[in-house]
Amino acid sequence: MKLLKLVPDNTNIGFVKLRHWAFALTALLTVLAVGATFYKGLNLGVDFVGGLMIEAKFETPPQTDKVRTVIDRLGVGDGSLQQFGDPKTVQIRLPLPEQGGAGAANAIVEKARKAMTAEFPGVTFSRYDTVSGKVSGELIQNGVLAVMLAVIGIAIFSWFRYEWQFGVSTFVAIMHDVLMTLGFFAITQLEFDLNIVAAVLTIVGYSINDKMVIDDRIRENMRKYRKMDMKSLIDLSVNETLPRTVMTSVTVLLALGALLLLGGHVLRGFTAAMMLGIIVGTYSSVYVSSSLLISLGLSPATAEKKASKVNIAAQAERMGPRDDGARP
Amino acid sequence: MLNFPRWAVVAILLPLLIGIACAVPSFLPDTVVGQLPKFMQTRVNLGLDLSGGSHLLLEASTQDVAKQRIANMEEQVRTELRRGDTKIAIGDISSRDGKLSFMVRNPSQVDAAVERIRPLTQGAGLTGQRDFNVEVVNSSTIVITPTKAGIDNAVKGAMEVATEVIRKRIDEMGTREPTIQQQGDNRIVVQVPGLQDPRALKDLLGQTAKLEFKLVDVNANPAEVAQGRAPVGSEVLPYPTNPAGPPVIAVYRQVMVSGEDLTDAQQGYNQQGNEPIVNIRFNGAGGRKFGQVTSQNVNRPFAIILDGKVLSAPNINEPILGGSAQISGSFTVESANQLAIALRSGKLPVALTVVEERTVGPQLGADSIRAGLLASVIAVAAVAAFMFMSYGRFGMYANLAVAINVLVILGVMGILGATLTLPGIAGFVLTIGTAVDANVLIYERIREERRRGRGVVQAIEHGYKEASRTIFEANVTHAIAGGIMLALGSGPVKGFAIVLLIGIATSVFTAVTFTRLLVSRWVRAKRPTEIHI
């Protein structure tokens, strides 16, 4: 049987040469994403803005206008409707009453239920969330804090583990991934809720994974080919790891694709965010973070200094019988 | 590197087998699992988004606690100063600005008044910390100010009690496995699976529980009482912890004193200081009523009843005057403390408001499980086919590792009693994708080493060795992200992080160690000179 190879053997693509184009494109896309986030804003779910959300499932796909009229007639404030992939399911969002606490929220839900049942017999209410302004403020704070801590924590890890250039390049690439994801949510206006924060953190984790693998190879090659100049060394490392980068991204995308198509509407935004993040993360691993090392002035000398200081044992092992010049 | 001694094989396979065994109960129906011994009931809990149910976050107002505390103190001061031979007349009582102040009418009694109030302001613990400061202003006004520690203690106590009250009330609903947890300083999380309509739950949490004191009808015929029949004017009440045998007891219908008249209950020790007891304290009216009834019924038992159930039925050894009493019995510190909490939980000690509520209908939950399962199966199948097409025999080893990994994750979740949520399923699917990554790293490395002209065994050894370091580093960073999610995330984010973290730990083991075992056995058995990878 002939085995599948997505990336041919011994590729030799000059990624480093492309870096100025890549940087320009990356900067442009990032600016666009940030601009979209500020200009269009995120469609924040009740988790983050507070309020009341009712999910109604109809027997037949309802006319959205009619549902809107019913909700408007209730006179409980500005409602908004949202439809998912499933045309029978509609999400209704209402502001939380300012006074009266739980009782008042209950009353609104009750009113909405009655009116909807009268207008659309057979409708069921499959989910509802109420989040007070105070809690939503805390949730948003924790979400932002979690993402920031993750990015900074990982950057510090790669700084201590390798050289500071690795820390900075990873940090830049990951911020890019996060901002692109935000931009995607601003443009598509998909609902941004707590689950999406988990998705963003996962993207951060995955993207780091990717960059670590390449960084690790760069470091290995820096010790192996002491005389090679940085540009060809990085190209070599990225090319050597390219089959793995592509294979893994494809497998993860396959798994997520199944989830996107079949996983039900609740997870759709979550999965979409992750798929985008994987693609963006792979791009930034290959084109941005490793090439950035050159711009940051990484040289074999700096690496050797650190390596001999930190990791003498590992180096000694490498001096052993293994033939370093095996590559033709 | 490819040699595995027998003990190593056992050390690799044993934890995997245990993990798989622990995953099995999650697939069995409830009735079967119920018959298993306790340590084998390692099932994954379904989160509310999968099982359907309600999640409520309740918040207590700290100011409310402080206010009530002042009001209680006022009541106690009134009772205390009115008691005994020398009554001390007071006036101008006010409890503004979080302080209690009053004037002693006869200035010569000020010192005596302070002396008598002092014991009331002592904290309940043995630390000697004061809950209130007592000051004399303008030589005739006494000001009582709660200390910071006092308020903190009060809030802590109030939350403990509120949690207990809520737990009792939810148990009354007969719901399956509710989760009630205190969160932070002044919040309580309530999760009730399978509950469709949280209105009932919210109504219940607003209800006041009823505490009553009644005399035990000692003349009732025990045989009739056991059958639920009581003499006229009496009633049979359940008494689950009755030391005298049957879990019922007959009491007179007339209420001696009710829970409204109780101001406090604390676990303490008797005068000898060795036997745990419960100290209860009544307000003025309650104390008088209690004194009267106990004077007339010395040597007879009375029953302490909560929500129609008798908690205990101590004997009245002597008239109990002065508004406070001790309940002795064969308590341990724990059971006395429990009784104290139960007595205090006559009513919610503080108003609770719902600040967050999430309800998922059972239908949606079932749909989500079905969709999640289907997606997982398809994902596994797609990834497995892809791995086989790319790496042949080695791909199948990786697939076997992934299949085992999925089961082991479920097993570990079962052991930890972790909860599987909808984002958790997404975590699963993602873990399947990334678990394969470790194998991809190894196999690509082996391919590379082969291209560089290394022999089969050397290439495999080198591939595993070099890739392992990368895998370790990559997974550490991944775990950092997961750990932060677990620490800071709430609800769905946490559910996702749990699966992710367990998956990271198990996948390194299955994808690296386990496949290495498989590969080494194959290589040693066949001694291939060429590998298809």
Our CA-based measurement puts residue B157 at a distance from the nearest CA of chain A, in whole angstroms, of 23
Instruction: Tell whether B378 lies on the interface with A, counting CB pairs under 8 A.
Output: yes
- Of these ranges, A216-220, B69-73, B244-248, the one predicted with the greatest mean pLDDT is A216-220
Q: What is the pLDDT of residues B459-470, one digit of tens each?
A: 999 999 988 888
Indicate whether A156 and A188 sit together in one domain: yes
What does the alpha-carbon distance between residue B502 and residue B482 come to, in Å, rounded to a whole number? 10
Residue A223 within any structural domain of the chain: yes
* E strand map for chain A: 43-44, 51-57, 80-83, 89-94, 124-131, 191-192
Does A102 contact B202 at a Cβ distance shorter than 8 Å? yes
Specify if A324 maps to a domain.
no
Query: Where would I find the beta strands (DSSP E) of B147-292?
Result: 179-183, 187-193, 211-216, 234-238, 248-258, 262-269, 276-282
CB atoms within 10 A of CB B258: 16
A206 touches chain B (CB under 8 A): yes
CB of B26 closer than 8 Å to CB of B43: yes
Q: What is the pLDDT of residues B136-190, one digit of tens each?
A: 888 888 888 888 888 888 888 888 888 888 887 676 565 667 888 888 888 988 8
Residue of B nearest to A156 (CA): B477
Residue A245 has pLDDT above 70, yes or no: yes
Q: Which of residues 470-489 of B touch A (CB under 8 A)?
A: 470, 473-478, 480-482, 484-485, 488-489
The pLDDT score that the predictor gives to residue B133 is 84
DSSP string, A239-263: HHHHHHHHHHHHHHHHHHHHHHHHS
Which of A1, A57, A327 lies closest to B452 in CB terms? A327
- Inform me whether the pLDDT recorded for A86 exceeds 70: yes
Query: How many interface pairs between A and B have CB atoms less than 8 angstroms apart?
Result: 249
A88: containing domain: 50-130
Same domain, A35 and A65: no
- Percentage of the residues of chain B whose pLDDT score is greater than 70: 89
What per-residue confidence (pLDDT) applies to A320?
Answer: 40
- Per-residue confidence (pLDDT) for residue A316, from 0 to 100: 43
* B202: closest CA of chain A, how far (Å): 8
pLDDT category at B70 given cuts 50, 70, 90 is confident
pLDDT at position A327 is: 43
A202 shares its domain with A100:
no
Q: Is A139 on the interface with B (CB under 8 A)?
A: yes
Instruction: Say how far apart CA B489 and CA A20 lie, in whole Å.
Output: 38
User: Is-contact B437 A251, C-beta < 8 A?
Assistant: yes
How many domains does chain A fold into?
2
Residue A241 shares a structural domain with residue A169 = yes
pLDDT at A239 over 80: yes
Is the pLDDT at B345 greater than 80? The verdict is no
| DSSP class per residue in A156-173 | HHHHHHS-HHHHHHHHHH
Residue A254 within a domain: yes
Q: Do B434 and A327 touch (CB under 8 A)?
A: no
Residue B205 has a pLDDT of 67
Backbone phi, psi, residue B262, to 5°: -95, 130
One domain, residues A119 and A193:
no
Model pLDDT, residue B197:
67
With a CB-CB cutoff of 8 Å, which residues 44-83 of chain A face chain B?
Answer: 55, 57
Rounded to 5 degrees, φ, ψ at A191 are -70, 135
* Nearest beta carbon to residue A209 from set B49, B454, B474: B474
Residue B127 has pLDDT above 80, yes or no: no
What gap in Å lies between CA B54 and CA A257, rounded to an integer? Answer: 30
For residue B339, the model assigns a pLDDT of: 63
Do B423 and B493 form a contact (C-beta atoms < 8 A)?
yes
Are A111 and A193 within one domain? no
Q: Which of these three, A130, A149, A181, is where a domain ends?
A: A130
What is the CB neighbour count within 10 angstroms for residue B491?
23
- Our CA-based measurement puts residue A242 at a distance from the nearest CA of chain B, in whole angstroms, of 10
- Calpha distance B339→B313 (Å, rounded): 12
**Does A149 lie at the interface with B, CB-CB under 8 angstroms?**
yes
Q: Is B437 on the interface with A (CB under 8 A)?
A: yes
Instruction: Find the CB nearest A213 among B451, B474, B484.
Output: B474
Q: Which is more confident, A325 or A171?
A: A171
Tell me whether A135 touches chain B (CB under 8 Å). Answer: yes
Chain B closest-CA separation from residue A25 CA (Å): 27
Select the residue of A110, A209, A247 nearest B478 (Cβ to Cβ): A209
- Which chain A residues are closer than 8 Å to B500 by Cβ? 202, 205
CA atoms of A49 and B62, how far apart (whole Å): 25
**Is A324 a residue whose pLDDT tops 50?**
no
Among A230-244, A290-304, B277-291, name the one with the lowest average pLDDT. Answer: A290-304
Helix-, strand-, coil-residue percentages of chain A, each rounded to 5: 70, 10, 25
For residues A83 and A265, the answer to whether their CB atoms sit within 8 Å is: no
Which CATH number applies to B4-51+361-524? 1.20.1640.10
- Asked whether the beta carbons of residue A130 and residue B434 sit closer than 8 angstroms, the reply is no
CA distance B72 to A1: 84
Least confident among A19-28, B292-301, B333-342: B333-342
Which of the listed residues A130, A148, A168 is the one where a domain comes to its end?
Answer: A130
- Chain A hits for B434, Cβ within 8 Å: 206, 209, 248, 252
| Angstrom distance (rounded) from CA B430 to CA A260 | 12
Look at the pTM and tell me if it is higher than 0.80.
no
Query: pLDDT band at B396, cuts 50/70/90?
Result: very high
Residues in chain A with CB shorter than 8 Å from the CB of B486 are: none
Confidence of residue A318 (pLDDT cuts 50, 70, 90): very low
Cβ–Cβ contact A319 with B under 8 A: no
Do A106 and A147 fall within a single domain? no
User: Is residue B408 within 8 Å of residue B503, measured between CB atoms?
Assistant: no
Backbone angles phi, psi at A87, to 5 degrees: -70, -15
CA distance B73 to chain A (A): 29
CATH code: domain B53-57+156-355 is 3.30.1360.200
Which segment of A30-34, A137-141, B445-449 scores lowest on mean pLDDT?
A137-141
B396 and chain A in contact, CB less than 8 A: no
DSSP assignment letter at B355: E
In the three-class reduction of DSSP (H, G, I as helix; E, B as strand; rest coil), residue B52 is classed as coil
Nearest-angstrom CA–CA distance, B252 and B233: 6
Domain boundaries, chain B: 4-51+361-524, 53-57+156-355, 61-150
Q: Does any CB of chain B come closer than 8 Å to the CB of residue A250?
A: yes
Distance CA A123, CA A201 (A): 36
Query: What average pLDDT score do residues B411-440 get?
Result: 84
Tell me if B358 and A129 make a contact (CB, 8 A cut-off): yes
Range name among A126-130, A178-182, B64-68 with the lowest pLDDT average: B64-68
A155 with A168: CB under 8 angstroms? yes
CATH of B61-150, one of 3.30.70, 1.10.730, 1.10.357, 3.40.600: 3.30.70
| Chain A hits for B364, Cβ within 8 Å | 55, 57, 126-127, 266
pLDDT for position B208:
46
- Domain assignment present for A175: yes
Chain A residues lying within 8 Å of B490, measured CB to CB? 139, 142, 194
Percent residues over pLDDT 70 in chain A: 88
Question: What is the reported pLDDT for B340?
Answer: 67
Per-residue pLDDT, A85: 63
Same domain for A70 and A175, yes or no, is: no
B1, B56, B477, B485, best to mutate vs chain A, most A CBs in 10 Å? B477
* Residue A179: inside a domain: yes
The CATH number of the domain holding residue A278 is 1.20.1640.10
Flag whether pLDDT at A35 surpasses 90.
yes
Which one, of A163, A217, A223, A192, lies nearest residue A46 by Cα?
A: A192
Query: How many residues does the structure list for chain B?
Result: 533
- Return left, alpha or beta for B189; rule: phi > 0 is left, psi -120 to 50 is alpha, else beta: beta
**Chain B: residue whose CA lies nearest to A53:** B358
Stronger pLDDT, B352 or B306, i.e. the higher one: B352
Helix (H, G, I), strand (E, B) or coil at B309: strand
Same domain, A21 and A170: yes
Same domain? A31 vs A121:
no
Nearest beta carbon to residue A4 from set B355, B389, B441: B389
Mean pLDDT of chain B: 81
Q: Are residues A26 and A126 in the same domain?
A: no
Nearest residue, CB atoms, A259 vs list B375, B386, B482: B375
> Is B391 in Cβ contact with A5 (below 8 Å)?
no
Provide the CATH number for the domain around residue A99: 3.30.70.3220
Collapsing DSSP to helix, strand or coil, B214 comes out as strand
Question: A311 in contact with B at a CB cutoff of 8 Å?
Answer: no
Cβ–Cβ below 8 Å for B432 and A217: no
Contacts of B314 (CB under 8 A, 6+ apart): B301, B302, B304, B327, B328, B329
Mean pLDDT for the stretch of residues A133-154: 84
Single-letter amino acid, residue A123: V
Tell me, yes or no, if A258 comes closer than 8 A to chain B by beta carbon: yes
Provide ipTM, 2 decimals.
0.80
**Cβ of residue B451 closer than 8 Å to a chain A Cβ:** yes
Question: Which strands make up the sheet holding B211-216, listed edge to edge?
Answer: B234-238, B248-258, B211-216, B302-306, B309-312
Cβ-contact A199, A277 below 8 angstroms: yes
Task: Identify whether the C-beta of residue A258 lies closer than 8 Å to the C-beta of residue B382.
Answer: yes
